[in-house]
Amino acid sequence: MNKIPNRAVMCEVLKEAAAQDRNVVVLCSDSRGSGSMTSFAEGYPKQFVEVGIAEQNLVSIAAGLASCGKKPFTVSPASFISTRGYEQCKVDCAYSNMNVKLVGISGGVSYGTLGMTHHSAQDIAAMSAIPGMRVYLPSDRHQTRKLFEALLRDRQTAYIRLGRNPVEDVYEENNVPFEMNKSTVLSEGTDVLLVACGEMVKPIQDAAKLLNEAGISTGALDMYCVKPLDKEGLLNAAAGKKLVVTAEEHAPFGGLGSMAAQVISANDPKRVINLALPDSPVITGTSKEVFAYYGLTGAGIADTVKKALGK
């Protein structure tokens, strides 16, 4: 069982980058602990900006830094940066074309029993609706490393959602297929395609295994980049399938499922089922308990597929 959360990997990658490039800076909104950024703040105090509990200010300051050549990463809870700082993300980062990497930590229902104030089930929809904003939800620690290394090389704004808790590996350390802005095929199948992003990738990987064992040929696609959506990769993976099932830790509207269904219905219409959190505050529980309750587990997703196929 992996014990290293994706946010800790982000910190390691950013420390490596900061050592080489003094323009790499991290900003936190009293969130260095929850963002695993304490060691960055201690190791690179001149490249760390504490903004206090002020997410609007956090995002605007980052944009100002970027306009002067800095490469800022804002690390703040996804629930706050994506809604409290939303207009600043839209105007100061995306619209002004600033190289700000907006990192939403403890995304989705990571904060579990703290309730809806701390859940970010709207961030994919909100961020994706901004012209010029890219949206990434890496699935495991190895892909997180690849993603942040790629983000350090480009000069455009992006929103990246990370979960709070360690997640089981999807990839092996020395075998992480990764192409920026392209989906990753986890397994091939002929009847069913499962598509997910972020913490739902491991469950679809598990579900594909269960379904293949049950004689239902199932492929799985890691759509870590939700925007720009890899339409070609999605349509290729969906070609010839009877059913596509998407899974995401997000509200049922405007997220990966909506976008995937939009592409499939316009190009290669077939049945698409979107699995997501409900259109209501989620039930009280840890994220694991919440996922289990709403069928967002390997077994739950496999059951949905079997029912849909009448098996």
* Cα distances (angstroms) measured from residue 256 to each of 19, 21, 24, 88, 140: 35, 34, 30, 23, 18
Give the residue among 282, 289, 231, 287 at the shortest CA–CA distance from 256.
Answer: 231
Q: Judged by CB under 8 A, which of 28, 49, 147, 193 binds other proteins?
A: 49
Under rule CB under 8 A, residue 3 binds other proteins: no
Q: Judged by CB under 8 A, which of 38, 95, 185, 286 binds other proteins?
A: 95
Which residues are within 8 A (CB) of 33 and not within 5 positions of it... i.e. 6 or more apart? none
Q: Judged by CB under 8 A, which of 9, 11, 13, 25 binds other proteins?
A: 25
CB nearer other proteins, residue 63 or residue 167 = 63
Q: Judged by CB under 8 A, which of 65, 102, 243, 296 binds other proteins?
A: 65
Q: Judged by CB under 8 A, which of 57, 156, 217, 286 binds other proteins?
A: 57
CA distance 64 to 82: 18
Characterize 127-163 residue by residue with b for buried, 16 or more Cβ atoms within 10 angstroms of its Cβ, and e for exposed: bbebeebbbbbbbbbbbbbbbbeebbeeeebbbbbbb
| Burial (CB count within 10 angstroms: exposed 0-12, middle 13-18, buried 19+), residue 68 | exposed
Under rule CB under 8 A, residue 68 binds other proteins: yes
Under rule CB under 8 A, residue 207 binds other proteins: no
Q: Which region, judged by CB under 8 A, interacts with other proteins, from 58-66, 130-138, 252-260, 291-299? A: 58-66
Q: Which region, judged by CB under 8 A, interacts with other proteins, from 5-13, 89-97, 124-132, 179-187? A: 89-97
Give the residue among 223, 308, 218 at the shortest CA–CA distance from 271.
Answer: 308
Under rule CB under 8 A, residue 92 binds other proteins: yes
Can you give the binding site for other proteins, defined by CB under 8 A?
A: 22, 25, 46-47, 49, 51-52, 54, 56-57, 60-70, 72, 87-88, 91-92, 95-97
